[in-house]
Amino acid sequence: MKKQPVKVKEKDVYARVKNFEEVVEGFSEQEAQEEASRCLQCKDPRCISGCPVGINIKKFISQITQKDYLGAYLTIREKNDFPSICGRVCPAEYQCRKSCVLTKKDALFASPEAIQIHFLERFIGDYGLKNNLWQKIPLRKDTLLNQKKVAVVGSGPAGLACAGELARQGIKVVVFEGLHQVGGVLRYGIPEFRLPRIVLDKEIEIIKNLGVEIHTNIIIGRTKLLEELFKEGYSAVFLGLGAGTPSFLNISGENLCNIYSANEFLTRLNLMGSGYFPQYHTPLNIGKKIVVIGGGNTAMDAARSALRLQYINGLKGEVAIAYRRTEEEMPARRLEIEHAKEEGIKFEFLIKPQEFLGDKSGKVKKIRFLRCRLGEPDSSGRPRPEVIPGSLFERDCDLAIIAIGLSANRILTQVTPQIKVDKYGDIVVDPDTMQTSFKGVFAGGDIVGGEGTVIEAMGMAKKASQAIREYLSRL
Amino acid sequence: MRLLYKEILAKDQSTRILKFILEAKDIALKAKPGQFVVLMVKKEGERIPLTIVEALPQEGTIILIAQEVGLTTKLLAQMKVGESLYALVGPLGNPTPIKNYGRVILVGGGVGIAELYPVAKALKKADNHITLILGARTKEVLILEAELKVLASDFYITTDDGSYKRKGVVTDVLKELLEDSSGVYNFIYAVGPVPMMLAVSQITKNYNLPTVVSLNSLMVDGTGMCGCCRLTIGGRTRFVCIDGPDFDAHSVNWQELINRNRMYVEKEKEICKLYEKTTS
């Protein structure tokens, strides 16, 4: 008889909506053993090709079954620097698990039977953190390169991954971060209930232990220009700038009070500690009827954070997510959608905001929506939401969060015309080396090709780090 | 980030305006008139934007001037010389375009006079003919009078209560100047409380006079990441932090700015009250 998937432990829904503690508790050793033993160890494993960084999944799962956790950790770390993070935030159901042979043919995303690779990765990542296994990773110090200095701009997933890779080869790396804390989107964007800060802090600590210096409060393009870094003795630069600027809907009333971008809402909460106001001084308003617009992970994060704030502030939980397509097309992780539903967040599909209405003091009080139906596929390959004429209706709303995506932050590229950008403001790179049109400057993450996942950003950073190494050895 | 010098520039019963000299080598090298920094006094504090009043690259310092309004500016005022800010980043925003406009009127109100100072200096250097109109609530809280006076060919001061120079508001003077000889002026620049900038904008619009204001919306990161500072300007959404802070006054949706700047008034009151309780 086929073994059933091991159900990962999660915090009780009634308790968890009143705090920001991590929802998924992860596998115990026994559970990891049991889940790993379900892996068929395919001769021609498809899961690996589903992983953006090509982790040898078959091998690390086999190592788990042999209780060779160090081996499993080293196998993952060959390709991925942050297994504890990726094991928590990777959309595995669209990636490795979707490619798993146990996923039904032509499924949109992984079947429940598919091996829960992400939870196994997390188990190993956490085991590694707890036992300081990073110290066992072989350093590949190259004496020819250890005179060279590389600057990394941005301390998000791409920047940290690139810095770690280069430092392990004996290259001196200095990371410049614009904000006052390290981690980029992992810090300001992803809530604690998905990625506890202790995990992030430990991963950053490891990077620092490799000799990487991190300078906060420095914006390259403002505080210092890119050209100046080369003058200061850096031989190459990696840009992991992120997809900085929130998009808005461009509809009437959008700048009313209590309408936030998801970036602002989450930044106030995650980076500035607004959940602890007044101990922390940055305020954040909370509504009785909150509407989140969008269908990605950021929308789920914002909605679930808002719901928690309602409960913490003694309000009834009333958060709705409005999405213009259907659940199937939602880009969010299936797990986040499930968790959001369990927690009591309402979903309204096939509706599109038309206008925000405000009260006398300029605060939002209603949203006008139009109903949609699915039409022919658009450029994204998903069916285009078509407005149904005459379908206008209103919903009460005293706080709205817009989570419809981000576009490139142009602070650096605006003052650095040598760097070629595309029409979206994203940096154009040679896909083989991640090198930009500026000699010695490489880029990766969301600033290349728009919004992607943490693991994709790390994959690009990894590729760039190899190219940087080669570039340095030619100097 | 280290505080090297602190001075109370002005005070009365209700408020104080202070000058701070901070160590900020990199920022001092880059700062241009009209740009600002974002700072945090404490780890648990807010990020607030403040205009760079002066940058001294040789000394590696910048000068900020702030009025005690909310908790963060109060905490800033409490800092002792030798202590460091928790965070300081900049220069942010676009510099004010400095060129020879010809005859310009610069209008500053309240602590906004501090923000006017670097622009006035730069415009003077670019050989503009400068008329300055400064306004303060009362004599005690008027700042930088001597520093600005030397830059101006024509110089006017108003106080709301008539305690110094002319009783009234800056726009009284502006209106008269434009009524008498509107054709003579080429450019107006105003910075101060929103109602003042709005009043300036309404007057100069009648004369179709190019008018630029430096907006003071709320910010978090100050680098275009959050959209807290966004406003409808010229019919489309702009970010004050990366598209501004200077904008054409006649394109600004002023009511939106007034409303958005009041978004946390209650919370600010609450936290200030708490702070007073713990310090008294």
Q: What is the per-residue pLDDT across A258-267, written as a single tens digit (0 to 9) for each?
A: 999 999 999 9
Read off the tokens for B253: 């949706």
- Closest Cα in chain A to B35: A222
Please give the Cα distance from A98 to A333 (Å, whole number).
12
Rounded Cα distance between A3 and A37, Å, is: 9
- Between the two ends of chain B, the Cα-to-Cα distance in Å is 28
Best mutation target, A261, A282, A356, A399, to test chain B (most B CBs within 10 A): A282
**Interface subset of A 189-218, CB within 8 angstroms of B:** 216-218
The H helix count followed by the E strand count for chain A is 17, 18
In chain B, which residues have their Cβ closer than 8 Å to the Cβ of A174? Answer: none
The pLDDT tens digits of the residues spanning A385-431 come to: 999 999 999 999 999 999 999 998 889 999 999 999 999 999 999 99
pLDDT averaged over every residue in chain A = 94
* Structure confidence at residue A310 (pLDDT): 97
Report, as an integer, the average pLDDT of B15-20. Answer: 96
**Chain B closest CA to A398's CA: distance in Å?**
13
CB proximity A252 to B under 8 Å: no
Residue boundaries of the structural domains of chain A: 9-136, 149-244+408-474, 247-405
CA-CA distance, A118 to A203, in Å (whole number)? 17
Q: For testing the chain B interface, which of A255, A286, A355 should be mutated: the one with the most B CBs within 10 Å?
A: A255
CB atoms within 10 A of CB B204: 25
Helices (H), A325-434: 334-342, 411-415
Reported ipTM exceeds the 0.90 cut: yes
* Minimal CA separation from A274 to chain B, in Å: 9
Residue type, A320: A
Distance from CA of A268 to the nearest CA of B (A): 8
Domain boundaries, chain B: 3-92, 103-136+173-261
Which CA distances in Å does B279 have to B74, B75, B78, B276?
A: 12, 11, 11, 5
CA-to-CA separations, B152 to B106, B120, B132, in angstroms, rounded: 9, 8, 6
What share of chain A has pLDDT > 70, as a percent? 99
Of B71, B91, B268, the CB nearest to A222: B91
Q: What is the pLDDT of residue B118?
A: 97
pLDDT in tens, B184-235: 899 999 999 999 999 999 999 999 999 999 999 999 999 999 999 999 999 9
A59's enclosing H/E stretch is helix A57-65
**CATH topology of A9-136 equal to that of A149-244+408-474?**
no
Q: What pLDDT, on a 0 to 100 scale, did the predictor assign at position A453? A: 87
Is the confidence at residue A1, as pLDDT, over 60?
A: no
User: Is A273 within 8 Å of chain B by CB?
Assistant: yes
Note the CATH architecture for domain A9-136: Orthogonal Bundle (1.10)
Residue with tokens 């309402």: A346
Q: What is the CA radius of gyration of chain B?
A: 18
Architecture of domain B3-92: Beta Barrel (2.40)
Measured between CA atoms, how close is A363 to chain B, in angstroms?
Answer: 8
Size of interface A-B (CB pairs under 8 A): 131
Chain A residues whose CB is inside 8 A of the B230 CB are 248, 255
* Spatial distance between the Cα atoms of A75 and A78, rounded to a whole number of angstroms: 5
**Shortest CA distance to A323 belongs to which of A286, A289, A344, A296?**
A296
Tens-place pLDDT, residues B35-78: 999 999 999 999 999 999 999 999 999 999 999 999 999 999 99
Contact at CB, A279 and B224, closer than 8 angstroms: no
Where do runs of H (alpha helix) occur along chain B? 25-30, 71-78, 112-125, 145-149, 170-181, 194-206, 240-243, 254-261, 265-279
Provide the pLDDT for residue B32: 97
Tokens of A146: 């250890």
- Find the closest chain A residue to B89 by CA distance: A217
Tokens standing for residue B252:
């600004």
Percent of chain A scored above 90 by pLDDT? 87
Give the minimum alpha-carbon distance from A36 to chain B in angstroms, rounded to a whole number: 41
Q: Which helix (H) or strand (E) holds A127?
A: helix A117-130
pLDDT of residue B182: 64
Distance separating alpha carbons of residues B86 and A180, to the nearest angstrom: 8
Fold classification of A149-244+408-474 is FAD/NAD(P)-binding domain (3.50.50)
CB contact under 8 A, B45 and A281: yes
**Which residue of A278, A282, A362 is in closest CB contact with B256?**
A362
pLDDT at position A240: 95
* Cross-chain Cβ contact B230/A255 below 8 Å: yes
Fold of B103-136+173-261: Rossmann fold (3.40.50)
Binned at pLDDT 50, 70 and 90, residue B181 comes out as confident
Chain B's closest residue to A407, CA to CA, is: B225
Give domain A247-405's CATH number out of 3.50.50.60, 3.30.465.10, 2.40.30.30, 3.30.365.10.
Answer: 3.50.50.60
pLDDT at B183 over 90: no
Lowest mean pLDDT among A25-29, A138-142, A424-428: A138-142
Res B129: pLDDT: 96
Per-residue confidence at A382, pLDDT binned at 50, 70, 90? confident
> What pLDDT shows up at residue B46?
97
**Residue-wise over A76-114: b if at least 16 C-beta within 10 A, else e?**
bbbbbbbbbbbbbbbbbbbbbbbbbebbeeeeebbeebb
pLDDT attached to residue A380: 78
Instruction: Give the pLDDT confidence of A283-336 residue by residue, as tens digits.
Output: 999 999 999 999 999 999 999 999 999 999 999 999 999 999 999 999 999 999
Q: Which of A250, A261, A285 sits opposite B263 (nearest CB)?
A: A285
Report how far residue A392's alpha carbon sits from residue A355's, in angstroms, rounded to the nearest whole number: 10
Question: Which residue's entry shows tokens 């590694």?
Answer: A128
Residue in A closest to B263 by C-alpha: A257
Unique residue bearing structure tokens 């700047």: B261
